[in-house]
Amino acid sequence: MKSRTRPLLLVVPALLLFTNPAQPADPSTVPPRTTLGISGSRFTLNGQPTFLRGASYYGALGAPDDFIRRDLDDLQRLGFNWIRVWATWASFSNNVAAVEADGAPREPFLGKLQQLVADCDRRGLVVDVSLSRGNGVTGPPRLQSHEAHRRAVATLVAALKPWRNWYLDLSNERNIRDQRHTSYEELRALRACARELAPGLLVTASFAGDFSRDDVRAYVDTVRVDFLTPHRPRNAASPAHTDAKTREWLGWMKELGRVLPVHHQEPFRRGFGGWEPKAEDFVVDLRGALSGGAAGWCFHNGDQRSAKDGAPRRSFDLRSQRLFDQLDTEERAAVELISKVK
């Protein structure tokens, strides 16, 4: 018996060298669990019609892992099922962009984005990955040439190809006529690039303000996005009009013969301007999105523009405080009320 036992004692430590639990598995080798899709004017998760109820989480790539874990736990507890993360985020002298100004990969933040998408996949959450050409407010302008913008699309698609729980916003508020502007022709080419590299990936391009009929036609027929992402006006009258505006856009698309989901990706928020919405305003806006036939809605949040240091910065800066520790009293009330809206 002793002669048989000795070799075993020598083998076990050797095996431990190859099964060290401190070495995490490559997340890209784990089969995807969550698949985002579209059925008519609705989103689906793993084939089931699902309303996307999410939150802005822009600076996630600069947040400690523990902050992210705890924020995602709280979001899921409250019934949220998607987050919006920027791949070009840089604010308060902190550049956490996953791509360089020329669209090339930028580490360690691209790897952090991969890990976040993988974690959300495991949790059953959707990740909105947004690009912006920038206007100096959130870091220096970037992706200023079509080639750089195309490279950024290719970089993200290649890095996130193992997962099916994310979508791509090609250009945040692309209609604003400053350095953020991206023409319909450029968007069409970027959409074609993404489709060639990942045929099943859902792609959009967000719009600042309310769509005109011509805007809807261009998005549907020229760019051929998979869904519309309006950023409605940020004033006290806005929540009461969300139902009617959503119905209007769906009606125009029906006339065009191609009805896409309407996803309210970035509504009003606190800290933006003179109007400070109350908890009930968020609820009214969400109810309007639901009753109007929208496919998704976002609890938007960001820095306090009137404060010298921008604090609380909320999702715009997650380095020293997690999102839920930066929400004010009205926002805390809002997320609790939102969780009860069906």
Residue 286 near residue 297 (C-beta atoms within 8 A): yes
Nearest to 130 by CA among 106, 147, 113, 144: 113
The pTM assigned to this predicted structure is 0.91
Q: Please compute, for residue 321, the number of CA atoms within 13 A of its CA located in the half-sphere on the CB side.
A: 12
Residue-by-residue pLDDT tens, the chain, 342 positions: 444 444 433 333 333 333 344 445 577 788 899 999 999 999 999 999 999 999 999 999 999 999 999 999 999 999 999 999 999 999 998 999 999 999 999 999 999 999 999 999 999 999 999 999 987 776 788 999 999 999 999 999 999 999 999 999 999 999 999 989 999 999 999 999 999 999 999 999 999 999 999 999 999 999 999 999 999 999 999 999 999 999 999 999 999 999 999 999 999 999 999 999 999 999 999 999 999 999 999 999 999 999 999 999 999 999 999 999 999 999 999 999 999 999
Residue type, 101: A
CB atoms within 10 A of CB 283: 17
- Neighbouring-strand partners of residue 263: 296
Residue type, 113: L
pLDDT in tens, 254-300: 999 999 999 999 999 999 999 999 999 999 999 999 999 999 999 99
Q: Under CATH, to which class is 2-338 assigned?
A: alpha beta
What whole-number distance in Å separates Cα of residue 195 and Cα of residue 167? 12
